[in-house]
Amino acid sequence: MINRLLGKQKNQDSLVERVQQLQQKPLPKHIAVIMDGNGRWARRRALPRIAGHHEGMNTVKKITRIASNLGIGALTMYAFSTENWKRPKKEVDFLMKLPSEFLHTYLPELIEQNVKVEMIGDPSNLPRHTLDAIHNAMEKTQQNDGLILNFAMNYGSRAELVQATKQIVELVQSGQLSVEDITDETMNAQLMTAHLDEPDLLIRTSGEVRLSNFMLWQLAYAEFIFTDVLWPDFTEHHFLDAVEQYQSRHRRFGSVEGEQKA
């Protein structure tokens, strides 16, 4: 037991030291995360898939804490996509209950850490209890001005872009906007993330190397980091490794002259 406690203290000291080191260089303002590998994590342990999702929820807590301590502005977690409805009903029902469980147990700490809870996605198909839990957390944290913990629930980027395009067409038809005045900023203003900085960094776990219909417009110039680590095994140190990689990259945004280092 003593060795275990000493091990935890040593790990905590190491995290504090790494956070302080990373804070000496520019940090990503917004990190987007595709949390992948819960099912495989469970299968490797001969457990039901829902056990992997439950363990993945604990990882969300850890990564939220370290991101908040590091000083990240926003953390968008891809919690449930528009395609995830195709999964078995039992699994979907469990996933819809996770926000209630997560926010019921973790909300006091989120408030204490000055974290603000937000959500992007289509709320129309989400169960009432899921929405109630998220809206309650949003209401209780709306005055917080620290890390924005942004859950992508029933979110699909193509649907978001279609909706944004329709809104721009309506502005043109009503005379509020001319076709000649449509710019990147026009599209940005119609997206669900209009009030957020575009993600500087995308992290995807589990070895998959694709975006899976996640923030296709917003991630145009983000740095991508793909790791083979399954989401339930993703630790604070893995997260800091990703930030460290981000800081080591040169971000040119399409230019050659005047390289910008992250």
Q: What is the pLDDT of residues 86-138, one digit of tens each?
A: 999 999 999 999 999 999 999 999 999 999 999 999 999 999 999 999 999 99
Amino acid at 29: K
Active-site residue, 84 included: yes
Express as a percent the part of the chain with pLDDT over 70.
Answer: 92
Question: From CA 119, how far away is CA 137, in angstroms rounded?
Answer: 10
Selection from 218, 211, 227, 193 nearest residue 81 by Cα: 211
Task: Say whether pLDDT at 68 is over 80.
Answer: yes
| Cα dist from 257 to 181, 209, 221, 222, 233, whole Å | 29, 30, 17, 19, 40
The catalytically annotated residue of 84, 136, 144, 188 is 84
Evaluate whether 180 touches 161 at the Cβ level (below 8 Å): no
Evaluate whether 157 touches 202 at the Cβ level (below 8 Å): no
Q: Is 135 helix (H, G, I), strand (E, B) or coil?
A: helix
* Residue 24 buriedness (CB in 10 A; 0-12 / 13-18 / 19+): exposed
Place 255 in a pLDDT band, splitting at 50, 70 and 90.
Answer: low
The catalytically annotated residue of 3, 11, 13, 36 is 36
Q: 150-174: buried (b, 16+ CB within 10 Å) or exposed (e) per residue?
A: bbbbbbbbeebeeebeeebeebeee
pTM: 0.92
Strand ranges for 156-259 from DSSP E: 201-204, 223-226, 250-251
Task: Say whether pLDDT at 261 is over 50.
Answer: no
Express as a percent the part of the chain with pLDDT over 90.
Answer: 89
Binding site per annotation, positions: 36-41, 49, 53, 81-83, 85, 87, 204, 210-212, 223
CATH code linked to domain 28-155+199-249: 3.40.1180.10
Binding site per annotation, positions for Mg(2+): 36, 223
75 forms beta bridges with 31, 149
Across the chain, mean pLDDT equals: 93
Cα four-point dihedral sign 191, 195, 200, 204: negative
Task: Give the model confidence (pLDDT) of 19-66 as tens digits.
Answer: 999 999 999 999 999 999 999 999 999 999 999 999 999 999 999 999
Active-site residue, 36 included: yes
